[in-house]
Amino acid sequence: MKVIVLNDALEISKDAAEIIINQVNKKKDSVIGFATGASPVETYKRIIEAYERGDVSLKHITTFNLDEYVGLNRENVNSYFWFMKDNLFGKTDVDFDRVNFLSGLAEDTEAECERYSKRIRECGGIDLQILGIGTNGHIGFNEPGEKFADGPFAVKLTQSTIDSNKKYFEAVGDTMPEYALTMGIGDIMRAKKIILIATGASKAKAVKALVEGEVTAECPASILKLHSDVTVFLDNDSAALLGERK
């Protein structure tokens, strides 16, 4: 695992965007796994800027997002589909026919998860997966628990995740859903390349468990240590609890 500590989110966004842009320029039809949330927003801005300069086209990429809230339709401003449309896809030439999402409205969540899993396989797997990390060490919505999940599944969100994200729902007078559909750890680990972005002091404990702790389902992100191509981008605050690094 390569750990890169930079000064702030802006510096991280430049380096992280460069990796994504290089991936797409090297393989126009790359399969990219996207994350939502605050962590990748600056990076997505750098990609939009590169697109506007004509330095990259996302027209031929296929996308898979990590997760979606149960019960939200795509027009809901707090759905992750809307987030991606608003923060990246709708501001570039992403082809919406190649955008894949778990459906928060699926009645049969098991069948929906199976469909998504099959779709990832049909597309040849994920070339590059972008991740954030929860304050409790989750990746995607793989919450701390007793074992690592392989494929996509329906998850009851922990109080920690609800406490971190409920502000977005409260801002529009809604209540945050308690359930989500998420890619499993297996789906994430099968990605050929992974980048994880963590900023801010609230992530420091989870980052320490990720970088220095043992591999345990109690910190789902810790499994990334077993992947051969992971780059972790940290700012000084999220890296604050790490020991001396060579």
Contact positions vs ligand F6R (CB under 6 A): 35-39, 66-67, 80, 132-134, 138-141
Please, what is the minimum distance in Å from the beta carbon of residue 53 to ligand F6R?
26
Please, what is the minimum distance in Å from the beta carbon of residue 83 to ligand F6R?
8
- Looking at the Cβ atoms of 132 and 152, the one nearer to ligand F6R is 132
- 138 catalytic? Reply is yes
Q: Active-site residue among 68, 112, 143, 187?
A: 143
Are the beta carbons of 69 and 35 closer than 8 angstroms?
no
Q: Active-site residue among 42, 65, 67, 187?
A: 67
Q: Both tokens of residue 3?
A: 């750990």
Helix (H) or strand (E) holding 153: strand 153-156
Residues paired with residue 232 on neighbouring β-strands, in sequence order:
3, 196
Residue type present at position 43: T
Q: Active-site residue among 65, 87, 136, 142?
A: 136
Q: Are strands 179-182 and 67-69 parallel, antiparallel or unpaired?
A: antiparallel
Separation CA 58–CA 68 (nearest Å): 22
Q: Are strands 99-100 and 67-69 parallel, antiparallel or unpaired?
A: unpaired
Quickly list H helices, 97-217. Answer: 109-122, 159-170, 185-189, 204-212
Please, what is the minimum distance in Å from the beta carbon of residue 23 to ligand F6R?
19
Q: Active-site residue among 65, 87, 138, 142?
A: 138
Residue with tokens 């750098």: 46
Please, what is the minimum distance in Å from the beta carbon of residue 107 to ligand F6R?
23
- Looking at the Cβ atoms of 51 and 101, the one nearer to ligand F6R is 101
- Looking at the Cβ atoms of 80 and 81, the one nearer to ligand F6R is 80
Q: Nearest residue to ligand F6R, using CB?
A: 132
Residue with tokens 């930079």: 6
Q: Both tokens of residue 28?
A: 């126009």
- 67 catalytic? Reply is yes
- Looking at the Cβ atoms of 56 and 206, the one nearer to ligand F6R is 206
Which residues are known to be catalytic?
67, 136, 138, 143
